[in-house]
Structure 1
Amino acid sequence: MGGENLIDLVSGAAAANGLPQYVANPGGSPFNVAMASGRQGQKVAYLTPVSEDALGALLAERLVESKVTLAAGRVPHPTSLAVVSITDGIPSYAFHRNGTAERQVTKQALHNDMPAETKLFHVGSLGLIDGDDADAWEAFFADCRSRGIMTSLDPNVRPGLIADRDGYIARLRRMMRHVDIFKLSDEDLAWLYPDRPLETALADCRADCDAVLFILTLGADGSRVFLGDLEMTAAAPKLEDLADTVGAGDTYMASILCWVLEHDLATRDALGAVGEDTLTNATRRAAEAAAINCRRSGCNPPWRDELTNL
């Protein structure tokens, strides 16, 4: 796994004096995917450095508790921060990550830190926006594909951080040509392919993408899944006890990756040969895991023994 780690400062109820109160939660999309995958029993190496500061200690502790290996170790740079405001259960973000620990990556270090037995590499989100770290992730991603390591990408777009829209989109489209598993939300799709109906945007995105497994998540409306010539719609469980949606998409992504590895599907040929019933079971598992996460505050994915759709 590769990509940002940070602390989500999540808004809560106001204090007695009227000032806002925030709870510090470990987060970052790829961090969440790593954590969720570890909890579902996969052997996970996290390739992004974690800070030596007190907030980094929280991040490292959460990963280790979730059975994730800190492959890149700790560095003296500060931890990235995301200020999260939640309205009606839906989060919005403001990020602070200049010169922080999670950006201290090089392509050579990534190659050095990745375990030799790696079968699948996942990356996405803030680490791909700009800077030397984004260049390193992109180059490493292409190297993984050329070495026969299955690649997975979730852009998890954060428009407020993207100063160079054209450059960012160009990077994603280059990476989409090297991807095996690709997931994005309907909000991501509308931002990346604007000013057109959803079906047109979806067709354009799929035409730009070489993924054998393509997933569009639709929030409470479930997801649409494409595998070769197979197309299916997967419903989302109904939630009457929603806490928030922080980390729901990451938990869904992790569940799909765990399913791929558990069923020895980490090649394009093997994954492409999966039938509809098997794929349906995978999406049910992913939806169930995401729903459990949504019943908890912040990103707190389920452990394997909490899942029934295995």
Structure 2
Amino acid sequence: MKKHIFVLGESLMDCIAQPDGQLRPLRGGSPYNMARAASLRGATVHYLNPLSTDSFGQELGAQLEADGVQISPQRSPRPTSLAVVQIQNGQPSYGFYRESMDVNLRPQVAGDVKAYANAIRALLPFADWIKASDEDLQTLGFGAARLDAAPALAQALQAACAGAASRIALTFGGDGAYLQVDGSSAALPAPRVAVVDTVGAGDTFWGNCVADWVLGHSASTEATLRSAMQAAAINCTRAGCQPPRWSEVQAFASGA
């Protein structure tokens, strides 16, 4: 039976600050990015959130359809949310102008970060698959997040989930990533590329992981991790979130 991926979550425009002070609008939003990445990997993906009727909403919808994602026919009269992105040393920082529901871990918009983190932790037992960045882990109180500590971090996260999560992915920026699937695990260093920025790298990584599991293509946890990291690396060579097609990942893996 063919499996489908259903994605619920915000879409927005990343307004990326340029060296001359101008803002360059690019399509974004973590679930939106993940839906695109999974579809470009070859999965059948449905994006459930209603997009805005404004011009940005039209642009966001057109991109999803171009990438093969099936979208909701419903539209919202509310304006598309904006994220102003400042890039320093390739790393993005965000300021938000929102009309949508943002389900990401955003400590910078929380008045009480500790209470915010506790609320997120309370939801962990309801998650079957979890992806967390090093910044997420630190915000949630799991301590120093390093690739060499990934197995212990995954164990602590599993305990916080009351054993509910069967698949855990941890990303550590330019250092690499760790993937745990049931009883198997793998850790790999990040591929070396000329980084433009890292916007959407984690979303691209996770979209490829989920698509790979749904499609059942990879022979091992390490193979899934490697291809997802390669997809994220390609995304980092582009401005904003621009996930690669599977053919591009294959070419990258072969050194073409």
Q: How does 1:134-149 map to 2 (within 5 A)?
A: none
Return 5+ residue gaps in structure 1 as ranges: 15-19, 104-125, 128-154, 265-273
Other structure's SS at 1:226 match: strand
For residues 74 and 119 of structure 2, the distance between their equivalents in structure 1, rounded to whole angstroms, comes to 27
Alignment of 1:261-276 (within 5 A): 261-263=214-216
Identical residues among aligned pairs (%): 35
Counterpart mapping for 1:143-182 below 5 A: 155=104, 157-182=105-130
Structure 1 residues 280 and 202: CA distance shift in structure 2, 3 A: closer
Give the CA RMSD over aligned residues: 2.1
Structure 1 residues 211-230: aligned runs within 5 Å: 211-230=165-184
**SS where residue 307 of structure 1 aligns?**
helix
Output the amino acid matched with 2:40: R
Specify whether residues 279 and 201 from structure 1 end up closer, same or farther in structure 2 by C-alpha distance, changes over 3 A only. closer
Aligned to 1:53: 54
2:144 & 2:60 partners in 1: Cα distance?
40
With over 3 angstroms needed to count, the CA separation of the structure-2 counterparts of 1:45 and 1:9, relative to structure 1, is same
Unaligned runs of 5+ in 2: 1-6
**TM-score normalised according to structure 2 size:** 0.86
Equivalents in 2 of 1:82, 1:244: separation in Å? 15
Q: 1 or 2 for the larger relative contact order (CA 8 Å, sep ≥6)? A: 2
- Aligned residue in 1 for 2:81: 80
SS at match of 1:242: coil
Q: How do residues 1-310 of structure 1 correspond to structure 2 at under 5 angstroms?
A: 1-14=7-20, 20-71=21-72, 73-97=74-98, 100=99, 102-103=100-101, 126-127=102-103, 155=104, 157-193=105-141, 196-198=143-145, 199=149, 203-209=155-161, 210-239=164-193, 241-263=194-216, 278-308=220-250
Structure 2 counterpart of 1:298, one-letter code: G
| SS of residue in 2 equivalent to 1:94 | strand
Deviation at 1:166, TM superposition (A): 4.7
For the residue of structure 2 that corresponds to 1:296, the secondary structure is coil
Distance 2:88 2:144 in 1: 27
Q: Distance in 2 between matches of 1:167 and 1:45?
A: 33
Once the two structures are superposed, residues 24-61 of structure 1 have per-residue CA deviations (whole angstroms, 9 ceiling, x without a partner) of: 00101001001111112211111112110111111111
> How many residues are treated as equivalent by the alignment?
239
Q: Secondary structure at the match of 1:183?
A: strand
TM-score by length of 1: 0.72
In structure 2, distance between residues paired with 1:232 and 1:39: 24
Offset at residue 165 of structure 1 (A): 3.3
Task: State the 4+ residue runs in structure 1 displaced beyond 6 angstroms.
Answer: none
> In structure 1, what residue type is equivalent to 2:28?
G
SS at match of 1:260: helix
